[in-house]
Amino acid sequence: MVGRFFLFAAWCALLWCLQVAPGLSRDAGAEADDIVWTAIIPDAFPHYVYTWRMSPDGSYREDGRDAASGRPIQATLSGHWRRDGAHMVLRQEGYPFVFDGLVVGNGYAGTLRLNGRPFSRFCAIKGEKPPERCGSEAGVAMMQRQD
């Protein structure tokens, strides 16, 4: 418990030191039309890349593809997202997956939950190109709170 508190305090200090841009406090309605995030989920689905097309109405569409071949791995999924400051949550419709993480600059990282339990870490960056890797440190994935 104390260890998690110190991780949380360290993360808050890091955000303060980086002087995170005021744009992080925008809500779903303030985002520009169809922001694209490209994500990897290294622990659970290491060979796939996911693209989220976020609409300002709080909905999103998700496509997945094989990283090596580029072939689709799933039908387009949909869901809803919300943002409170740097904290952003994506909930898939029809599936018990929830992406719970923090947005810092052009990056979004955190914990993918399945049925409310931690399932994998994930990371995403704005644009069509996926991140090269997610950090292996405990950091963000351990600090996420459950709603």
- The radius of gyration computed from the CA coordinates of the chain, to the nearest angstrom, equals 15
**Prediction pTM value:** 0.72
In this predicted structure, the answer to whether residue 77 has a pLDDT above a threshold of 90 is: yes
How does pLDDT run across 24-48, given as a tens digit for each residue? Answer: 434 444 444 689 999 999 999 999 9
Give the span between the Cα atoms of 133 and 67, in whole angstroms: 12
Position 34 scores a pLDDT of: 84
How does pLDDT run across 90-120, given as a tens digit for each residue? Answer: 999 999 999 999 999 999 999 999 999 999 9
CATH topology of domain 2-143: Porin (2.40.160)
Angle at 52 between CA 44 and CA 32, to 5 degrees: 150
Please state the φ and ψ torsions of residue 49, each to the nearest 5 degrees: -125, 140
Position 76 scores a pLDDT of: 98
